[in-house]
Amino acid sequence: MLMAFSTYFLLVLLQIFSALHFLSLAQDQSGFISLDCGSPKGTTFRETTTNLTYISDADFINTGIGRSIKQAYRTQFQQQTWNLRSFPQGIRNCYTLNLTIGDSTPFISALELRKLKNTTYLTQQGSLQSLMRADVGSISNQVLRYGSDVFDRVWTPYNFESWSQISTNQTVKVGNAYQPPEIAMVTASVPTDPDAPMNFTLVAGSRTTRFYFFMHFAEIQELNSNETREFNIMFNDKHFFGPFRPINFTTTSVYNPTEFVVDANGKYTFSLQRTGNSTLPPLLNAMEIYLVTLVPLQETERKEVDAMMNIKSGYGVNKIDWEGDPCVPRDYRWSGVNCSYIDNEQQKIISLNLSASGLTGEILEFISNLTNLEVLDLSNNTLTGLVPEFLANMKSLKLINLSDNELNGSIPANLLNKARRGSISLSIGGNTGLCSSGLCATMKKKKRNTVIAPVSASLVSVFLIAAGIVTFIILKRKKRDKLGNGTTPLHSSSHHGYESPVIAKNRKLTYIDVVKITNNFERVLGRGGFGVVYYGVLDNEPVAVKMLTESTALGYKQFKAEVELLLRVHHKDLTCLVGYCEEGEKMSLIYEFMANGDLKEHLSGKRGPSILTWKGRLRIAAESAQGLEYLHNGCKPQIVHRDIKTTNILLNEKFQAKLADFGLSKSFPLGTDETHISTVVAGTPGYLDPEYYRTNRLTEKSDVFSFGVVLLELVTNRPVIDQKRERPHIGEWVGFMLSRGDITSIVDPKLPGDFDPNTIWKVVETAMACLHPSSSRRPTMTQVVMDLKECLNMEMARNMGNRMTDSTDDSSIQLSMDFTTELNPVAR
């Protein structure tokens, strides 16, 4: 198989350049970008060793903080490292570099980009990462770069003990496409034993490693008429190239146009072997080795990137992560943006959420250039003007949320018709000046025919209107209070997801206090692996008192430190710790009381025949996901729950979901060199991450796996493990059933049929991504939260759309506009 490579080896021969032309190339820095990161705007200097000109990076990036190293250390480093730019905020910070077409705090001191010819360093896939660039025959042992190399590549000296060096004072022509530095080509290595081959071996880190090899040759000795230098190049004992004779004082570059593959022993061995016709040993002047780095995702389509940049500038969107490619990398895509992510294709933007982003002015037509957009949320802003016609012409759009703005005028007839047919979900509530076209005409006609009524009639009208408004508000509040199926809106606050604990004063209690507030442990709420939970009353507020078992307490040496951490963790989607007790082995944690028990009880019917609607389940999923995302990303140190399951998702009196038992999880610090910790494997069978179980390596992605199982329970309401099924584990069973193409077979049969199958598919797709065997391939909880919010918005908008289509008269449309609010929950 390797023998077939020999027919593809290419020989790059010298292209003759005049000495004057080569000299001009050596001095030309056009196309170079050399940034001194962190230096003040306007800074420019010429680096003394290379004569390269560096400028400030201030015009290339909008984030980060410029800093300088101490004066005492500057003599030890080159000037381009004296300043640096650090990035203490955000997880995505991008430089914008306009090129000619053809969890600690990171920092960067210098950024350098260089232009190479399009005919060089080609690869079949991915990018090339420099592994070695060697001046093989170096005599001076100096590192070479710009001044010696026209492309500012860095060449390091490289010699073997069994090799000897030769050199020449004559000029060697280096004008081929690769243009290695002449100072490297006027020297070479040859084997010390003239009859021995020149061998060198690389050991691969992985059997999947692929690489490219470039060798540069020039004969630098005056050969007599009876002397010949001829050799073959072998790779892993197979013929690679040759027989080959280097050209006198002229550079020849040999390379492989296809990837080299590791042998059975995980090694790459090259050998330059003289032929029987040769009187001289082989020779090598310079070589380069590049690893193939696969790029997992292609960039976003150019037209969509341009559209997003125009939207950003048009609305003055000020988001720290709105830099660079909107979709790539996937884990760091722009906030509020979701993309298609199809392998081997350019990414397309399918969702844009700019809710509560402070947008003003009209709805920009640049949005129409996002031709693959399915979800558009511009709610809770102060947008003015008309609803544009182009929204009705965007074929991919399935959901439009324009509620709570200051839009006015008529809604385009085509858009209304699509909403009536159910082909699009339209949310337009909270825009007092907005109406359907027919209703607008009626209102204008009535306004022209209005006459002034007596004062007494006006007073009566005012009284009736006021009474009607009061009645409407009371009924609306009662309706919300009575919702017992998980359909209350996601809560928001001025603290972006934070809220005060139930009891404002967190405190340490005595054991006598605990006995008193539980009325001598009268009422048991539940039992779990960590202990028994009792009902209690503290400061006239109901609480849940978790008494840790003796074995748990004895093994929980860091109890106090853990409690101190948890007393600082407050989020609306986490059960709040309001107090604790620590007296010897008497340890307890006091939480806010969750009146509606846990999610498992409601799915199983233990709490009665009431069934959670699909919208209610989506809301519970989104709220619990937000709580888990906060533990992963909002806590310092980061908290990994380790026991995500439906019994640890509790519901309060309004059916708001909150994660519980995170106080007995494992926390670990960010900002170290470790990406994991080793610990005793803990968790619940069925929910336990198999990679964590196999390796003892705990990461936040272990929680993601467990949450994926919870999502499948919400969809199917089936046991996590059932030995009677074709596939016992719920994840394997769902995958097996989906392979048949019928999603209805996995949906909870007790679930009312009024739901959008597309949101079911989306949740199942998210869940299966969470269950990927490799933790690195699972989404982050931030991604999961975004997916669930999108599904929830679609389901809520669909319900609103059903109300719109109940009647074709204009009054029903106006009424639904008044009721459609709060469709997008505020993020943490």
Q: Which residues are annotated as a binding site for ATP?
A: 546
> Measuring CA to CA, how many Å separate 207 from each of 3, 262, 637?
20, 6, 37
559 torsion bin: left (phi>0), alpha (psi -120 to 50), beta (else): alpha
In this structure, the strands spanning 349-353 and 65-68 are unpaired
> Measuring CA to CA, how many Å separate 96 from each of 33, 41, 322, 418, 656?
12, 16, 11, 40, 43
CA 24 to chain centre: 45
Report which residue type is found at 524. V
Instruction: For residues 67 and 56, give the distance between their C-alpha atoms in angstroms, rounded to a whole number.
Output: 12
In 295-369, DSSP assigns E strands to: 337-339, 349-353, 360-361
In this structure, the strands spanning 531-538 and 507-509 are unpaired
Is 643 among the catalytic positions? Answer: yes
Instruction: For residues 192 and 540, give the distance between their C-alpha atoms in angstroms, rounded to a whole number.
Output: 91
Q: Of 135, 325, 643, 756, which is the active-site residue?
A: 643
Q: In what order do the strands lie in the sheet with 267-274?
A: 198-203, 267-274, 231-235, 238-244
Question: What residue spans of 717-780 are helical by DSSP H?
Answer: 730-738, 757-770
Instruction: For residues 802 and 59, give the distance between their C-alpha atoms in angstroms, rounded to a whole number.
Output: 51
Instruction: For residues 700 and 667, give the distance between their C-alpha atoms in angstroms, rounded to a whole number.
Output: 10
What SS3 class is residue 437?
A: helix
C-alpha radius of gyration, the chain, whole number: 34
CB 607 within 8 A of CB 596: yes
CB 609 within 8 A of CB 633: no
CB 725 within 8 A of CB 745: no
DSSP secondary structure string, 233-292? EEETTEEEEEEE-PPBTB-EEEE-SS-EE--TTSEEEEEEEE-TT-SB---B-EEEEEEE
| Helix 781-804 and helix 810-819, axial crossing angle in degrees, nearest 10 | 150
Instruction: For residues 408 and 428, give the distance between their C-alpha atoms in angstroms, rounded to a whole number.
Output: 11
Residues 6+ apart with CB under 8 A from 714: 599, 603, 617, 620, 621, 763
Q: Per the annotation, where are the binding residues?
A: 546
Give the residue from 166, 167, 176, 262 showing the smallest Cα distance to 215.
176
Tokens (6 digits) for 790: 């999108």
Burial state string for 370-398 with b = 16 or more CB within 10 A and e = fewer than 16 = bebbbbbbbbbbebeeebbeebbebeebb
Residues 6+ apart with CB under 8 A from 111: 33, 34, 35, 37, 57, 95
Residues 6+ apart with CB under 8 A from 593: 502, 535, 541, 542, 543, 544
Q: Among all residues, which ones are annotated catalytic?
A: 643
